[in-house]
Amino acid sequence: MTKALRVPDYLDHILRALERINRYTANMDEAAFLNSELVQDAVIRNIEIIGEASNNILRVAPAFAAQHHDVPWQVMYTMRNRVSHGYDKVDLEIVWKTTQRDLPELHAQVTGVRATFKVN
């Protein structure tokens, strides 16, 4: 598989993780999120997937990432590192705000970028 063919797969990984987070937090307010360790863990795991896939795009297709500079590739990877390596210091309020404020826009951005590839 060529590097170029991997990019759509990584984008699909990001989209699936975003959709899972949306499903897990649907009909939930911040208080419910903060009281559900199960949902917290599921959301954080999918943030890790988003960040890892973003880093893979940065690594195997830096020109592609630069061409789509409006997508916060590095920010996604940085958040992944924070929740993964700083697991004992994760601010769940920030995680919640990210799911509500940033992830819907990110989903739209990645969906738009993914649409530039032919569907296999």
Give CA–CA dist 22/76, Å, rounded. 16
Burial 11-39 (b: 16+ CB within 10 A, else e): bebbbebbebbeebbeebeeeebeeeeeb
The single residue of 23, 85, 101, 114 carrying the catalytic annotation is 85
> 23 an active-site residue?
no
The single residue of 6, 13, 23, 80 carrying the catalytic annotation is 80
Give CA–CA dist 110/41, Å, rounded. 23
> 68 an active-site residue?
no
3-class secondary structure per residue, 57-68: HHHHCHHHHHHC
Q: CA nearest 24: which of 34, 13, 39?
A: 39
Residues taking part in catalysis: 80, 85
